[in-house]
Amino acid sequence: MIYLSNTTDAQVAYVPRDTEVPEGATIRFAMKSTVDLDTVVNALVIDIGILKLYFNVALTLPEGVTPGEYQYELTADGDALSTGLLVVRDNGLQTEEYNKEIEYEQYQS
């Protein structure tokens, strides 16, 4: 899952690299709402090949993006390279982890 801040400033998304990119292919990143299926972002990506496991994608979200869950797809000449979920978080909100503390009691017989 990819997490982005709801800001119009440029930010980096690390998109998992599942397959090799064909030489000279045009790579696009699309971000679509899971509620109304509107495409919020459709951007051209330049692969400089720094990382073997991820595409390093620089994104700028448009003004007025609703915080929530989105579906992303990275394609090369129309063929899917990577798909998954992306979360746009409100600015200033921190993510929380809910870890229940488990206590064990040992009885002697």
pLDDT at residue 97 above 70?
Answer: no
Amino acid 84: pLDDT: 92
Q: What is the C-alpha to C-alpha distance for residues 102 and 73, in angstroms, rounded to an integer? A: 39
Residue 47 has pLDDT above 80, yes or no: no
Residue 93: predicted pLDDT? 56
Whether pTM > 0.75 for this model: the answer is: no
Mean of the pLDDT values across residues 29-39?
A: 87
Which pLDDT belongs to residue 73?
A: 93
Domains identified in the chain and CATH numbers: 2-89 (2.70.50.50)
15 burial (CB, 10 Å; 0-12 / 13-18 / 19+) is: buried
